[in-house]
């Protein structure tokens, strides 16, 4: 008789492990225990089903129990596993609905219990029309409740990936959407400048966003939600979506005495094996290693869960596959914006002890003269000392995914800016500019590392404008028609082509921060100023692209 493999959890990592194990060992007994009534569905597709982009619910189901049965894999739906007996190699629990007890024995065990929504202690969470989105059944309920016209005002608690994807879904359904985020910015895994770009875009799409505000209470009448009270205001609400993040489901593992890692998820080695031999964990319940920092991390993503499940499927059959770790590569859609990230942000790199520098450039998916080209703004992060690439972010209607995938490969190869700048990427006008924006960004980083020009971040400029006006000046080198649209309050305006004739308007004793629309012309201006003897000159990273602030009555930007 072959070995008996039990899998607890049937959404992503669990089914992947089962399928791979079956291919590796045709005779192994495999049983999946799943608490829900569905198995192997695309959790990442739920917002698109709710919005109506995905028309049919069945399109989200990757594999049915019947399809698993054809491969000799048994699926036990509506079975809640409540205990793992490590010594006797058994699991036990009860059937949902009937309450009937069950038990089973294993030679190998996979824990793929996933994650669960964070549920804070807030008054009013029990009210009708307060929802979470974690399972396909949550999506079913939201489809039923949100599509009718009686729901008009929706408040989303949390400005992370799911909250932002659901903002689009509700807008598509004709709702008025408000996002409440406790942090100073939405999209907290990104740098503030790129989060600001997305915020401006979402607000133009009709999404109201309130940051640095927590939800104090949810109010209702006749048992149904009517208002959300934050620390600063009261918002009308017919529906509330709680999207404050998730935490790994580890209670089962903890009760069994398995080691819980420093991240709060289940500790596993590179083979995805837990602290007990023959018991594995994968997906959103397991921690892993960050490939840049070498530290233990918990970054729950569907792509990671499937890769880990595959490794587990090999190893439960006696193989020796490894999962080396992650860099947090992710992408999501916000209306027509493609928002992507890999590796470390500037803030994260500083926290990890690097001396990070950044390049921010406009990135087009085609040559500038080829029709229908679309733009993304690209940020490349590197270490000042070594030139090693540390991360990247991209946002816009252009090919953010392409840019981030290139950078992710550079991170895997531990490439420096010099190496990345010379990568042989494909070029033809319908597909790319003659120099990929990734290569352009690598060249900017190279210039900074080699000392040709110094950069300064937008947030540093804002701070110095408010605290160091006597020793600091901002130079705007854009054209007149650009300046008429918006201008940083208190800046000196000299178009680039007039700069050499108007050097006397600048104080050589002061620090000069130069900007244009995106950083190209201001870089040229910095070189000219340095050549003329100006020693303390810096290029504002990203220029006006990243200056996301309120405008005054004449378009002036208030720092």
Three-state DSSP string of 87-141: CCCEEEEEECCCCCEEEEECCEEEECCCEEECCCCCECCCCECEECCCCHHHHHH
The reported pLDDT for the residue numbered 232 is 96
CA distances from 159 to 279, 367, 397, 543 (A): 36, 34, 20, 25
Question: Which residues in the chain land under pLDDT 70?
Answer: 1-2, 549-559
| Helical segments of 205-320, H only | 251-255, 302-315
Catalytic residue, candidates 24, 44, 317, 548: 44
The reported pLDDT for the residue numbered 356 is 98
The reported pLDDT for the residue numbered 360 is 96
The reported pLDDT for the residue numbered 147 is 75
44 catalytic, yes or no?
A: yes
The reported pLDDT for the residue numbered 552 is 46
Buried/exposed code over 269-280 (b: 16+ C-beta within 10 A; e: otherwise): eeebbbbbebbb
- The pLDDT tens digits for 308-361 are 999 999 999 999 999 999 999 999 999 999 999 999 999 999 999 999 999 999
- The pLDDT tens digits for 18-71 are 999 999 999 999 999 999 999 999 999 999 999 999 999 999 999 899 999 999
CA atoms within 13 A on the CB side of 390: 26
Please list, in sequence order, all residues whose beta carbon lies within 8 angstroms of the beta carbon of residue 509, skipping any fewer than 6 positions away.
Answer: 471
The reported pLDDT for the residue numbered 557 is 54
Residue 172's Cβ-count burial label (10 Å; 0-12, 13-18, 19+) is middle
The reported pLDDT for the residue numbered 2 is 59
* CA separation for the pair 48, 454 (Å, rounded): 43
CA atoms within 13 A on the CB side of 237: 32
Q: What is the DSSP string of 419-464?
A: HHTT------TTT--SS-HHHHHHHHHHHHHTTS-EEE-HHHHHHH
Q: Whole-model pTM? A: 0.94
Tell me if residue 381 falls in helix, strand or coil. Answer: strand
């Amino acid at each position: 008789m072959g070995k008996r493999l039990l899998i607890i959890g049937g959404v992503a990592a669990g089914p992947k492990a089962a399928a791979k194990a079956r291919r590796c060992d045709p005779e192994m007994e495999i049983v999946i225990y799943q608490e829900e009534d569905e198995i192997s569905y695309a959790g990442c597709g739920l917002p698109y089903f709710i919005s109506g982009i995905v028309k049919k619910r069945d399109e989200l189901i990757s594999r049915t129990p019947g399809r698993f049965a054809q491969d000799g894999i048994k699926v036990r739906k509506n079975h809640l596993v409540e205990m793992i007996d490590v010594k006797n190699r058994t699991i036990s629990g009860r059937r949902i609905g009937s309450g009937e007890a069950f038990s089973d024995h294993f030679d190998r065990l996979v824990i793929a219990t996933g994650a669960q929504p964070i549920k804070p202690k807030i008054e009013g969470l029990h009210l009708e029309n307060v929802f979470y989105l974690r399972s396909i059944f949550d999506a079913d309920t939201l489809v039923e409740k949100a599509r009718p016209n009686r729901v008009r005002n929706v408040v989303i608690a949390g400005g992370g990936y799911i909250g932002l994807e659901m903002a689009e879904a509700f807008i598509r359904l004709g709702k008025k959407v408000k996002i409440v985020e406790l942090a100073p910015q939405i999209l907290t895994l990104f740098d503030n400048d790129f989060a600001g770009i997305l915020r401006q875009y979402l607000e133009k799409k009709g999404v109201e966003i309130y940051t640095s505000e927590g939800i104090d209470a949810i109010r209702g009448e006749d048992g149904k939600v009517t208002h959300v009270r934050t620390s600063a205001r009261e918002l009308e609400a017919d529906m509330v979506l709680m999207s404050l993040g998730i935490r790994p489901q580890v209670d089962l593992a903890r009760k069994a005495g398995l080691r819980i890692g420093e991240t709060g998820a289940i500790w596993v080695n590179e083979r995805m094996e837990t602290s007990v031999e023959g018991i594995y964990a994968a997906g959103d319940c397991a921690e892993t290693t960050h490939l840049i920092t070498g530290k233990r991390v918990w970054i729950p993503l569907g792509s990671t869960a499937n890769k880990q499940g595959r490794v587990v499927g090999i190893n439960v059959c006696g193989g020796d596959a490894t999962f080396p770790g992650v860099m947090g590569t992710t992408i999501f859609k916000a209306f027509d914006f493609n928002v992507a990230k890999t590796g470390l942000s500037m803030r994260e790199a500083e926290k990890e002890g690097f001396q990070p520098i950044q390049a921010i450039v406009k990135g087009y998916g085609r040559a500038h003269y080829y029709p229908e080209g679309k733009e993304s703004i690209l940020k490349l992060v590197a270490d000042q000392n070594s030139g090693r690439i540390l991360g990247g972010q991209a946002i816009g209607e252009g090919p953010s995914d392409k840019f981030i995938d290139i950078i992710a490969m550079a991170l895997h190869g531990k490439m420096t800016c010099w190496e990345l700048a010379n990568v042989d990427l494909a070029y033809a006008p319908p597909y790319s500019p003659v120099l990929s924006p990734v290569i352009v960004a690598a060249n900017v980083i190279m210039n900074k590392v080699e000392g040709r020009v110094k950069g300064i971040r937008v947030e540093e400029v804002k701070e110095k404008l408010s605290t160091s006006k006597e020793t600091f000046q901002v130079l705007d080198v854009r054209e007149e028609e650009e300046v008429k649209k918006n201008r940083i309050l208190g800046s000196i305006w000299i178009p680039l082509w007039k700069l050499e004739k108007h050097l006397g308007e600048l104080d050589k004793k002061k620090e000069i921060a130069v900007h244009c629309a995106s950083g190209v012309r201001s870089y040229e201006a910095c070189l000219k100023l340095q050549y003329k003897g100006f020693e303390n000159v810096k290029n504002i990273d990203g220029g006006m692209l990243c200056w996301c602030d309120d405008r005054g009555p004449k378009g002036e930007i208030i720092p």
